[in-house]
Chain A
Amino acid sequence: MRTNRTDIMQGTLELLILKTLSREPMHGYGIAQRIHQTVDDLLKVEDGSLYPALYRMEARGWIASEWGASENNRRAKFYKLTRTGRKQLDAQSVNWERISRAVMRVLGAT
Chain B
Amino acid sequence: MRSLQDLFRKKPTIETEVDEELTFHIDMQTRDYESQGISRERSRTMAETRFGNVSRIKKECVRIGSGKTFLIWILDAVFMMSLVTGLLLRLFVPEMHVNRVGDVMMMIGGLGILLVYAKQCGANAFSSTSQKPLGLNTPPVGFDEKGRTPFDRVRED
Q: Do A67 and B140 touch across chains, with their CB atoms under 8 A apart?
A: no
A73/B130 contact (C-beta < 8 A), A29-B29, A46-B52 known: yes
Fill in one digit per residue for A33-60: 1 if any B CB lies within 8 Å of its CB, else 0: 0000000000000111101100110110
Partner of B135, one of A55, A56, A66: A66
Pairwise interchain contact B24-A76, C-beta atoms closer than 8 A: yes
B91 at interface, CB cutoff 8 A? no
User: A78–B52 contact, CB under 8 A?
Assistant: no
Chain A residues with CB under 8 A of B18: 51
Asked if B149 is at the interface of the complex by the 8 Å CB criterion, the answer is yes
Q: Across the interface, do A66 and B25 meet the contact criterion of CB distance under 8 Å? A: no
A75 is an interface residue with CB less than 8 A from chain B: yes
Contact count band on B:
35 or more
Given contact pairs A25-B140, A52-B61, A71 touches B150 in the complex (Cβ within 8 A): yes
In chain B, positions 109-157 with a C-beta closer than 8 Å to chain A are 123-124, 127, 129-136, 138-143, 149-151
- The answer to whether A48 touches B134 (Cβ under 8 A) is no
Closest to A26 in B: B141
- Nearest chain A CB to B16's CB is how many angstroms away? 11
Interface of B is mostly: helix
- Dominant SS among interface residues on chain A: mixed
Please, which residues of chain B bring their CB within 8 A of the CB of A48?
22, 51-54, 57
Q: Does A70 make an interface contact (CB < 8 A)?
A: yes
CB distance from A104 to the nearest CB of B (A): 32
Task: Name the contact of B136 in the complex, choosing from A28, A32, A52, A66 (C-beta under 8 A).
Answer: A66
Query: Distance in Å from the Cβ of A23 to the closest Cβ of chain B?
Result: 8
Between A and B, 16 residue pairs with Cβ closer than 8 Å are A27-B24, A29-B29, A47-B29, A49-B52, A51-B25, A52-B64, A59-B64, A59-B65, A59-B67, A59-B68, A67-B127, A68-B132, A71-B150, A72-B28, A75-B20, A75-B129
Further pairs besides A67-B123, A69-B133: 12, Cβ < 8 Å: A25-B136, A27-B141, A28-B24, A47-B52, A48-B53, A51-B57, A52-B61, A55-B60, A67-B127, A67-B133, A72-B28, A78-B140
The 10 closest A-B pairs by CB, nearest first: A71-B142, A68-B133, A48-B52, A55-B64, A30-B141, A48-B57, A52-B60, A29-B28, A24-B138, A48-B51
